[in-house]
Structure 1
Amino acid sequence: MDAFLDSLAAFHVLRPYGLIALVPIAVLWWAIRRRNGRGREAPTGIAPHLARALTVGDTAKRQVFAIDGVAACLVLLTIAASGPTWSRVPNPLLAQTAPLVVVLKVSRSMEAPDLPPSRLDRAKFKILDLVERRAGARTALIAYSGTAHRVAPLTEDPNILGSMLEAITPKVMPREGDAAIDALALARDELAKSETPGAILFVLDDLNGADAAALGAPVEEGAAPVLFLVAAPQDTLPAALAQLPDSSVFVLTADDTDLNAIDRAAASAYRAALLGDERLDWDDRGWVFGWLAMPLVLLWFRRGWTMRWAVVLGALIASGAPTSSRADVIDWFFTPDQQGMMAWNYKEFAQAASLFTDPMWRGITLFKSGQYADAADHYARLDTPEGAFGQGMAHIRNREYRPAIAAFEKALTLQPEFSEAEWNLAVARAILVYVEETREQSDTGEDTGIGADDVVFDNEAQKGADTQKEYSDEEQDGTGFQTAEQWMRSVDTDMGDFLRTRFLQETATGGQP
């Protein structure tokens, strides 16, 4: 319902002058319907009751005429041609899923066992489920008690969040308390680093009454919405949380009901934020009204309603149809860019790349289809920040780091406030430094790995003598190595000590992470 209301409020047409065609359509409809509605005049020289009995096809009683279906079809096609829209086209080069900052309360009260095994453990499980279903989206984690601390920045890696969550207990927090306002400020600072609009989710069991007034205040336009997931039995909702708007408070459930509600709320906020982003193009939805007009065409074949001029119209369309071997019926109704978008929606990126004529979308589809060299060449022809950014991303995927650095620098020259380009520029420079240092350390100058039985040359110690890297029996049969999951589990204890030390330092210095 919220999505429908948001779309209705944003509805407008991109080509309003096309609506002028509605005037002659209305005049034509009124004139023809008026003529058909008069009916036939009663014959003279015969009794009225006999005339009614002998008259066949009394059109005066007909309520619906063929012109009604034709007019409705023409109205829908006119609206389609005017470019109706109610949503923006997300930038495929940036994240299309809203980032989320999860703020977890870590206090003694969260260790209550009324939600087995405890409120805190159930909250952790629910957060992990949320991160898993948001695959590909960025999620950050903040913990608070008497103080608030950033545990993990916005990341797409669920393993990082999983290891951090396991290590978080009340023991790692410097002070006991309820610094919800400080946690909110920290969450907003984290979201400010992303140009993609997002939301904030508090996972807690209770809230101070003073903080409830601030957290439940109406959200300013453009600000991230604040949602609450209550880790407490459903029949014991705290009074402070009960005062918050019903649309933003969700009680933790045993199934995915709470997660579905959170997804809907976050998606609604994301759509609303996109509607206000003037940098994004409006999504032309004329095809929707075109499909609505198609069933009305079928009424032309109703007995008595067939349009005599429909044959002439069909002949004209056929004469103007493409004659190339590639042309088919779909070319009559959809432009190449519309066909490319349909292929994009079905994730047929190679086909979409051959269909798009829009230069930006053609470059994007070349990139998504793995044709990085062609994508970089195509982006290089675009003198825009987005084009330079896309060129840099294509060069990085093709392991061409120096051209990528130059492309990101160009993007920042064209648009200095381009955080994504700034971040990827730093990443490209770091990768280049690492690659060059690795090559300098190798004898051959090649960036190659060394296997278990590879011959290497120790020029420093043995002046080029042949040596062979030896491994233990456990390493040779693979039992001496740990998987990433095993390694992450082995450092859980150390991770808790690390977090406690870092939180204490932040509290002592009063600095932000």
Structure 2
Amino acid sequence: MTDLALFFDLFHFIRPWLLLLLPVVALIWWFVRRRLVGNRLPDAALAPHLAQALTVGNSRAGRLVPIDEVALVLILICLGAAGPTWSRVPDPFVAQTAPLVIALKVTASMENKDLAPSRLERSKQKIRDLLALRAGARSALIAYSGSAHSVVPMTEDPNVLQPYLEGLQVDVMPDTGNNTGAALEAAQAIMAKEASPGGILFVTDDVAGADVAAMDAVTGTSAAVLATLPDGTGSAGIDALNIPVQQVTVDDADIVALDRQLNAAYRRALAEDGDQPWDDRGWLFAWLAALFGLSWFRRGWTMRWGAAVVLAAMILPYHARAEGVTDWFLTADQQGQIAYNNRHFDRAGELFLEPMHKAYALYRDGNYESVVEVLAGIETPDASFLAGMAHLKNRNYRDAIEDFQTTLDRDKDFPGAAKNLDLSKKILDFVETTREQSDTGEGEGEGADEVVFDNKDARGSDTQIEGRDEGPHLLTADQWMNTVDTNTSDFLRQRFAIEAARK
């Protein structure tokens, strides 16, 4: 589904009853304009050519008058007040990008240098750019030729994929061929473990004809192909596909289009989720109304009651805040939302004045202590849940348990509260059990110089354990690093060979 189709499918008004004001505005416009157009001097006693020469504004009915623009501004205001929307407010705890499985074809044909530096290297470059564009969304990587192999499972850290992506060479694959169907099965197996719909992207220069039907029959996820072929080069298998196919480009236009297409199903799922409120876009109509209202400054266009409106606006108390040019047009919360949308969470945390938005930005920035301070005194389930998440991230498990329990007391069906409460209790129990074992001498051995646990329940007993001089000699950091095999190609070659032998 395209963005335009998704927009029309989800578009609605949050407060549709306010649209009833539109006929009232139309009636006022008709009444006032009829009076303005009807004010003509009687010309029965004058010659036609003299009446035409002496009459000013004779063609008034065919041109715009102030009431026309007033009606347009009022219509825009009514539409904005009705709350047009086509998406929900983003949930800070849920990624706004769909989980994605990338299936990269690693065959001899991908080493063709007609796409500089080669089809395979250009594919790797595009995958790196796509991972950067997705900004930490969940991604997995599959390599395939005659067989398909999972390279990296779902992860939110793109840095984990980088070394394995670089290590993918033709000689690491145990079999030759173009088994796109096996890659599709492996990708679907990974996506089946995800809680939300996602996408599968095939980065390839060809698709076997026997696998075309299987790829076209993909349901529940979005599927697309990045064709790593130079301009003017075609592929019978790729041309036969009915799923979106994007030709590789010299800029990032291809990955931007693919990211938008692959996220369509995910955005629909988020929009149909009833947990988050709808995002009111009425401010767009407010800007349009202000733009059209500028012509009121034209000579002869100001309505009689315009002065009363201006006077009332001057009398009403307001608080001005103009520290810069931006403050003339945007409030602090609007500026904070722009920074938040651009993932500048630290700046958004400074700008937001609304407590919940400020807390969300601080949470995304990792400033968990400040999150708790901002939410202090807000007695809503959203506030206590966010405070619990901040405590959990900051390893204050007891405070997290208390906050999650408070959330359930305020709303017993609050999404995720019961699950996180149970998780916090399990973590705390594990910490206390570990402390007990340490206190009683279980699990002897060399460890960290100092380990501090939350032990407010005073479980276990104090025990002093003396270290032993004998035992294996610990390696230095340099010695340990020298024992690590950093050649991911060798690692993947061995792993893929073992997987192929087992199959």
TM-score, with normalisation over the residues of structure 2?
Answer: 0.77
User: Which segment is superposed worse, 140-149 or 51-60?
Assistant: 51-60
Cα RMSD (Å) of the superposition?
A: 4.5
Q: CA distance change for structure 1 residues 394 and 289 in 2, over 3 Å: closer, same or farther?
A: same
CA distance in 2, matches of 1:399, 1:313: 56
Q: CA distance change for structure 1 residues 105 and 409 in 2, over 3 Å: closer, same or farther?
A: farther
1:500 maps onto 2:491 in alignment: no
CA distance in 2, matches of 1:14, 1:156: 34
CA distance in 2, matches of 1:192, 1:414: 26
Q: Within 5 A, what are the aligned runs for 1:172-211?
A: 172-211=172-211
The corresponding residue for 1:243 is 240
Aligned length: 476
The corresponding residue for 1:282 is 278
Q: CA distance change for structure 1 residues 420 and 498 in 2, over 3 Å: closer, same or farther?
A: farther
The corresponding residue for 1:153 is 153
The corresponding residue for 1:454 is none
The corresponding residue for 2:102 is 102
The corresponding residue for 1:453 is none
Give the Å deviation of 1:287: 0.4
Q: Contact 2:73–2:292 at 8 Å: present in 1 too?
A: yes
Aligned residue for 2:468, secondary structure, equals helix
User: Which segment is superposed worse, 430-439 or 298-307?
Assistant: 430-439
Aligned residue for 1:150, secondary structure, equals strand
The corresponding residue for 1:225 is 222
Q: CA distance change for structure 1 residues 368 and 275 in 2, over 3 Å: closer, same or farther?
A: closer
Aligned residue for 2:143, secondary structure, equals strand
CA distance in 1, matches of 2:183, 2:145: 9
The corresponding residue for 1:311 is 307
The corresponding residue for 1:451 is none
CA distance in 2, matches of 1:364, 1:126: 32
Give the Å deviation of 1:101: 0.8
Give the Å deviation of 1:311: 1.4
Q: Contact 1:151–1:164 at 8 Å: present in 2 too?
A: yes
Q: Contact 1:145–1:179 at 8 Å: present in 2 too?
A: yes
The corresponding residue for 2:71 is 71
Q: CA distance change for structure 1 residues 145 and 66 in 2, over 3 Å: closer, same or farther?
A: same
Aligned residue for 2:50, secondary structure, equals helix
Q: Within 5 A, what are the aligned runs for 1:108-507?
A: 108-112=108-112, 115=115, 118-217=118-217, 220=219, 223-245=220-242, 248-322=244-318, 341=337, 344-345=340-341, 347=344, 348-353=347-352, 355-356=353-354, 359=356, 361-368=357-364, 371-376=367-372, 378=375, 384=381, 390-404=386-400, 414=413, 432=431, 441=447, 445-446=451-452, 459-461=466-468, 480=478, 490-500=486-496, 503-504=499-500, 507=502
The corresponding residue for 1:81 is 81
Q: Which runs of 5+ in 1 are unaligned?
A: 448-456, 464-468, 509-513
Q: Within 5 A, what are the aligned runs for 1:57-68?
A: 57-58=57-58, 60=60, 62-68=62-68
Q: Contact 1:380–1:387 at 8 Å: present in 2 too?
A: no
User: Which segment is superposed worse, 49-58 or 147-156?
Assistant: 49-58
Give the Å deviation of 1:186: 2.7
Q: CA distance change for structure 1 residues 259 and 424 in 2, over 3 Å: closer, same or farther?
A: farther
The corresponding residue for 2:443 is none
Q: Which runs of 5+ in 2 are unaligned?
A: 440-446, 454-463
Aligned residue for 2:140, secondary structure, equals strand
Give the Å deviation of 1:197: 4.0
Give the Å deviation of 1:68: 0.2
The corresponding residue for 2:442 is none
User: Which segment is superposed worse, 271-280 or 9-18?
Assistant: 271-280
Q: CA distance change for structure 1 residues 363 and 470 in 2, over 3 Å: closer, same or farther?
A: closer
CA distance in 2, matches of 1:118, 1:327: 54
Give the Å deviation of 1:77: 0.5
Give the Å deviation of 1:21: 1.2
Give the Å deviation of 1:81: 0.7
Give the Å deviation of 1:97: 2.4
Aligned residue for 2:33, secondary structure, equals helix
Q: Contact 2:136–2:156 at 8 Å: present in 1 too?
A: yes
Q: What one-letter code is carried by the residue in structure 1 that aligns with 2:17?
A: Y
CA distance in 2, matches of 1:208, 1:22: 58
CA distance in 2, matches of 1:445, 1:133: 39
CA distance in 2, matches of 1:54, 1:253: 67
Aligned residue for 2:291, secondary structure, equals helix
CA distance in 2, matches of 1:229, 1:32: 59
Give the Å deviation of 1:73: 0.5
Q: CA distance change for structure 1 residues 46 and 496 in 2, over 3 Å: closer, same or farther?
A: closer
Give the Å deviation of 1:34: 0.9
CA distance in 1, matches of 2:82, 2:398: 46
Q: Summarize deviations over 1:324-377 as a string: whole Å, max 9, x none.
A: 68799x999999976764564474333454x226x5x45413424655235347
Q: What one-letter code is carried by the residue in structure 1 that aligns with 2:308?
A: V
CA distance in 2, matches of 1:239, 1:36: 69
Give the Å deviation of 1:319: 2.9
Q: Summarize deviations over 1:190-228 as a string: whole Å, max 9, x none.
A: 2344445432101223222221012124x54xx221111
The corresponding residue for 1:466 is none
Give the Å deviation of 1:143: 2.1
CA distance in 2, matches of 1:53, 1:416: 76
Q: Contact 2:216–2:241 at 8 Å: present in 1 too?
A: yes
CA distance in 2, matches of 1:18, 1:237: 54
CA distance in 1, matches of 2:229, 2:428: 47
The corresponding residue for 2:444 is none
Q: What one-letter code is carried by the residue in structure 1 that aligns with 2:240?
A: Q
Q: CA distance change for structure 1 residues 232 and 31 in 2, over 3 Å: closer, same or farther?
A: closer
TM-score, with normalisation over the residues of structure 1?
Answer: 0.76
Give the Å deviation of 1:183: 2.4
CA distance in 2, matches of 1:235, 1:426: 61
Give the Å deviation of 1:298: 1.9
CA distance in 1, matches of 2:429, 2:161: 24
Q: Contact 1:404–1:428 at 8 Å: present in 2 too?
A: no
Aligned residue for 1:490, secondary structure, equals coil
CA distance in 2, matches of 1:429, 1:192: 31
CA distance in 2, matches of 1:426, 1:135: 32
Q: Summarize deviations over 1:372-396 as a string: whole Å, max 9, x none.
A: 2353473996675x66653343114
CA distance in 2, matches of 1:481, 1:272: 52
